[in-house]
Chains A and B, each alone.
Chain A
Amino acid sequence: SQQGEEDPQALSIQEGENATMNCSYKTSINNLQWYRQNSGRGLVHLILIRSNEREKHSGRLRVTLDTSKKSSSLLITASRAADTASYFCATPAVSGGYNKLIFGAGTRLAVHP
């Protein structure tokens, strides 16, 4: 089963509003990453938060991590139409002594002008 699961599955907002997406995971992690996927494109890394961090900012992005609840949230402030995309959380998993990422199902965000 997937390690990370996003909530909600879809989100529709107006330009200027804030968008919040949540991710829950099942096992202990040392970091959690968020990726964005525009329609018809590959995923693009947005931000990484380590397990010893509670909050991290990057431009209009704010990520929180609560390891006790095994959850993370991605907040996009003052959203723009260009933020319309799918957003995925990803957590590392060890396999064969190496690290791979397990992606959640994603949140589809639509920002309307």
Chain B
Amino acid sequence: DAGVIQSPRHEVTEMGQEVTLRCKPISGHNSLFWYRQTMMRGLELLIYFNNNVPIDDSGMPEDRFSAKMPNASFSTLKIQPSEPRDSAVYFCASSPRTSPYNEQFFGPGTRLTVL
């Protein structure tokens, strides 16, 4: 298996532009997580899905952020409009089941820079 796939790997955009980050989880995994990592705030859970259904979006910073999972093999995280403070590395992770004993498998991340 190729592991969790994220695209793009790097994104540079200007303030006010829409940004869409994409994630393909590991086949057969039914939980998907979006994280944001910054030096100041560390690794933050933004939202997670189970069987394509959003379970907890309490970490989404504000209405400018939205996430979808239209099917088991694809998810998007959208920021509209983007702001410089959104600059961070965004990770997608997937997990095979909802058991608390399951490890999470992380993608390589998307480094977002908003100018």
Contacting residues, chain B, for A101 (C-beta < 8 A): 33, 45, 104
Given the interface pairs A41-B108, A100-B33, the reply to whether A92 lies near B100 with Cβ below 8 Å is: yes
Q: Which of the 9-residue segments A10-18, A44-52, A65-73, A76-84 touches chain B?
A: A44-52
Cβ contact within 8 Å between B100 and A41: no
Check: B71 CB closer than 8 A to any chain A CB.
no
Alpha-carbon separation in the docked complex, A106 to B55 (Å): 26
Cβ contact within 8 Å between B55 and A48: no
Interface residues on A, range: 20 to 34
Alpha-carbon separation in the docked complex, A1 to B45 (Å): 12
Cβ contact within 8 Å between A41 and B33: no
Given the interface pairs A88-B43, A99-B98, A105-B42, the reply to whether A42 lies near B48 with Cβ below 8 Å is: no
Interface residues on B, range: 20 to 34
Cβ contact within 8 Å between A42 and B56: no
Cβ contact within 8 Å between B48 and A45: no
Residues 10 to 60 of chain A near chain B (Cβ within 8 Å)? 30-31, 33, 40-45, 48, 50
Q: Kindly provide the distance from the CB of A4 to the nearest chain B CB, expressed in whole angstroms.
A: 11
Alpha-carbon separation in the docked complex, A95 to B56 (Å): 7
Cβ contact within 8 Å between B98 and A98: yes
Cβ contact within 8 Å between A43 and B42: no
Cβ contact within 8 Å between A42 and B91: yes
Q: Kindly provide the distance from the CB of A44 to the nearest chain B CB, expressed in whole angstroms.
A: 7
Q: Kindly provide the distance from the CB of B101 to the nearest chain A CB, expressed in whole angstroms.
A: 6
Binding site for A on B (CB under 8 A): 4, 31, 33, 42-43, 45, 48, 50, 55-56, 58, 91, 93, 98-109
Contact sample, A vs B, 5 pairs, CB 8 Å cutoff? A42-B108, A44-B106, A48-B103, A101-B33, A103-B42
4 closest A-B pairs by CB: A42-B106, A45-B103, A92-B100, A99-B100
